[in-house]
Structures are given as structure tokens and as C-alpha cells.
């Protein structure tokens, strides 16, 4: 990292020479690295020895006692792994930092430091873009928040807020992780955190739900996600909104198609300028057009192709192809009249039983959220 700072200084000042302070700093860093390496060499070799590792158990206290009696390992030597890992992280050696912090977690009985090491390893893995390992670490941190902080609701809220923001890196850079974002963010504890502490995350949740349209084969599951998103956008509209949530509001709450078309254009600009969402802009606009078309077709019986094409920002020929593909993909009951330039939709009425089923499904999520909140309040009261 010192070399990187020195190279930046050279670029800024257009100079080939490196100031002495950077040379001195580099030598100091190398000396500290050498010292750390010598002091942690023994414990590092032990943890890479299969005969030693095979004798370790899930009980950290017993493991530390075994290593102390058989190999002379002390608590100070274990803590040195933590310090060495932090120093490697500050030097920009993220892979080495992740390795050292992981070794520290295996042996340390200090819960606070072990928690800090978990966050450090997660950060190091994110910076090395090792997304598969990142997803594993996210699950470990999530479990740690649920189990080790169960009697401290405020700490849980803070840690979940951090985790929500950190998970944006794998969720929008690693394709297999994209399916997990909605499951995680819609879970009762995380959706409560978003609504309480970081409502701006609704932008990313909205983008994930809308772009997941082509990813989720289960239409019922997708419709449930969409309904939950609409409900949350409605609830949080007084506190946070942006072009993405405004699009949801215009389309599914106000049923204002002109406003939905306008906000879709604004959302496209926002997506292209967002660090995490820039790569999803095209997929979002494509999926949003499908949603506009579906909603428009559901509430109109006779649709003018020219008018619908204009609402989608397409010319008439493109609009005809779009509508034909939409009817085929969604299996809507509609007929295209090329002479009149219209589409005739057949809308069978939902039975009373189906309406009851849909309302029951919607109440399940609200009941889960209420139960989770009640459990947290009871735990907090017992802890006091």
C-alpha cells in the first residue's frame, strides 16, 4: 500500500523520484512484516499440520489447552495472528489477511475479537472478489448476529445494517448470488432493519425484484415478492423514495401509466450512475416494460397497439412484436387484430375462493414480521 501511495504521488507531481518519507515508511512496513512473520511462524505451521488439526475439536478452550500443553502455544501467540492479519489488511495483502484472520477465529476464545475477525475476513474476501467464499462468510456473520447478539437488539440492528450494505457487493457482482438477495432482504429481521435503519436499500431491493422476473420460474413466488415490495414501498414512501420506488408506486399503487413511463426513464439514468446497479440497467428497463404491459393488459379489454407502444417508448412495429411476445410468454388470453391495430383481452373473473387464498398468503408475511418483533421484545425484556 505504501508503494501504491508513492506511485500516486509520482503521478500527481509528474516526478520520477520518490520522497524519502515514502522510502522510510516502506522500510518500516517491511520490518514489521518480517517481525510478525517470525512471531507467527510456529502457530501457522501447526495449523497447516494435518496431525495437529485432526486433534482439534469444536471446543476452543480445549483446543487452546491442547496446543499449549503439546506445542507451547500461548494466548499471546494467538492474538498475534489477529494483529498480523490487521496489518496485512492495511498493507493491501487481502488474501493473506483473510487467511490469518480465519486462523485466529479457529483458536481465539475472545468473542469480541473473533467477531471483529469475521468482519475483517469478510471485507478481505470482498476485496479479493472471492465471491463463493464471501457468500459463506455472509452466512457465518448472519448466524453470529442471530446467536451471539440475541440479548442486544440495538447491536443486532447495527450489525444487520452493516451486513446489508456489505452484501450488495456479492449480490450485484456474482450472478449465482443474485437469487439470494430477495430471500435475505425479505426475511423478517432484515426487512425490519431496512425499514428502521436504511430505507435507501429499497432501491436495490426493487431492482432485484424487478430484474428477477426472468430468473424465477415459479410465477407464484415472483408475484409474492412483487406484492411484498409494493406493500413496503407504500409504507416507506413518506421516508424514502427515488425513481425506482416511484416507478413501483406509479404502476402498482397509483396505476398511473404516464407517470410510470416517466419514472422509468429517470430510473434508467439512476441505474446507469449507480455503482452496484449500472450493469443491470438494461435488464431492469426490459423487465419494467413487461410489467407495464402486463398491468395495462389486465385492466383494459381493448388495447390500442400504437398507444401502448408509445407508453413503452417503442415504435408501432416494435410494439406489435413486443405484445405478441408478451401474450405468448405470459399465456394471456388475448387476440391481435392487425386491421384495427388493437388487442382484445379476455379477463375471466377470479372466484371468491381464489381471492380468499390470495389475502391469506399476504397476511402470512405480516404475521411473521409481528412474531419476530414480539420475540425480540420478549428476549430484550428477559435480558434486562
The pLDDT of residue 193 is 94
Q: Where are the strands (E) in the chain, listed by range?
A: 302-304, 334-337, 342-345
Cα separation of 289 and 214, whole Å?
12
| Inter-residue contact 289 to 249 (CB < 8 Å) | no
Residue 44 CA: distances (Å) to CA of 30, 48, 49, 63, 111: 19, 6, 9, 15, 21
**What whole-number distance in Å separates Cα of residue 98 and Cα of residue 122?**
8
Give the containing element (helix H, strand E) for 295. helix 281-299
Does position 166 have pLDDT exceeding 70, yes or no?
A: yes
Q: pLDDT tens digit string along 184-198?
A: 999 999 999 999 999
Collapsing DSSP states into helix, strand and coil, what is residue 265? Answer: helix
Q: 93-138: per-residue pLDDT in tens?
A: 899 999 889 888 888 888 888 889 999 999 999 999 989 999 999 9
Provide DSSP, 119-164.
HHHHHHHHHTT-HHHHHHHHHHHHHHHHHHTTT-HHHHHHHHHHHH
Residue of 313 and 108 predicted with greater confidence:
108
Q: The dihedral of CA 283, 284, 289, 294: what is its sign?
A: positive
**What was the pLDDT predicted at 198?**
93
| pLDDT band, very low/low/confident/very high, at 382 (cuts 50, 70, 90) | low
In terms of pTM, does the model score above 0.85?
no
pLDDT at 270: 94
Cell numbers for 255: 396505476
Q: Which residue has the higher pLDDT, 65 or 380?
A: 65
d(CA 92, CA 76): 24
pLDDT(92) > 90: no
Amino acid at each position: 500500500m505504501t508503494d501504491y501511495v508513492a506511485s500516486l504521488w509520482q503521478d500527481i507531481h509528474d516526478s520520477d523520484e520518490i520522497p524519502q518519507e515514502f522510502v522510510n515508511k516502506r522500510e518500516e512496513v517491511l520490518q514489521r512484516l518480517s517481525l510478525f512473520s517470525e512471531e507467527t511462524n510456529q502457530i501457522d505451521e501447526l495449523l497447516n499440520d494435518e496431525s495437529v488439526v485432526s486433534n482439534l475439536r469444536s471446543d476452543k478452550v480445549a483446543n487452546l489447552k491442547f496446543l499449549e500443553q503439546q506445542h507451547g502455544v500461548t494466548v499471546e501467540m494467538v492474538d498475534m495472528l489477529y494483529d498480523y492479519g490487521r496489518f496485512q489488511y492495511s498493507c493491501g495483502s487481502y488474501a493473506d489477511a483473510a487467511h490469518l484472520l480465519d486462523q485466529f477465529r479457529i483458536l481465539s476464545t475472545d468473542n469480541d475479537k473473533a467477531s471483529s475477525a469475521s468482519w475483517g475476513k469478510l471485507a478481505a474476501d470482498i476485496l479479493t472478489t472471492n465471491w463463493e467464499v464471501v457468500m459463506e462468510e455472509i452466512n457465518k456473520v448472519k448466524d453470529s448476529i442471530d446467536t451471539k447478539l440475541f440479548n442486544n437488539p440495538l447491536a443486532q440492528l447495527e450489525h444487520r445494517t452493516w451486513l446489508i450494505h456489505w452484501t450488495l457487493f456479492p449480490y450485484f457482482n456474482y450472478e449465482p448470488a443474485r437469487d439470494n438477495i430477495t430471500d435475505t432482504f425479505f426475511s423478517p429481521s432484515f426487512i425490519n432493519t431496512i425499514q428502521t435503519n436504511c430505507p435507501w436499500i429499497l432501491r436495490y431491493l426493487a431492482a432485484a425484484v424487478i430484474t428477477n422476473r426472468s430468473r424465477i420460474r415459479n410465477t407464484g413466488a415472483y408475484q409474492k415478492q412483487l406484492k411484498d415490495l409494493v406493500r413496503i414501498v407504500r409504507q416507506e414512501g413518506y421516508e424514502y423514495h427515488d425513481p425506482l420506488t416511484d416507478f413501483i408506486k406509479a404502476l402498482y399503487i397509483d396505476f398511473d401509466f404516464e407517470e410510470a413511463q416517466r419514472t422509468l426513464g429517470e430510473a434508467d439514468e439512476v441505474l446507469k450512475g449507480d455503482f452496484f446497479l449500472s450493469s443491470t440497467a438494461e435488464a431492469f428497463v426490459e423487465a419494467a416494460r413487461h410489467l407495464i404491459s402486463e398491468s395495462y393488459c389486465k385492466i383494459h379489454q381493448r388495447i390500442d397497439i400504437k398507444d401502448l407502444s408509445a407508453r413503452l417508448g417503442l415504435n408501432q412495429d416494435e410494439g406489435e412484436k413486443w405484445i405478441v411476445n408478451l401474450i405468448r410468454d405470459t399465456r394471456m388470453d388475448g387476440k391481435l387484430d392487425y386491421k384495427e391495430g388493437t388487442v382484445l383481452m379476455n379477463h375471466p373473473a377470479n372466484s371468491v375462493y381464489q381471492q380468499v387464498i390470495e389475502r391469506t398468503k399476504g397476511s402470512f408475511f405480516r404475521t411473521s414480521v409481528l412474531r419476530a418483533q414480539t420475540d425480540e421484545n420478549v428476549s430484550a425484556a428477559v435480558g434486562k
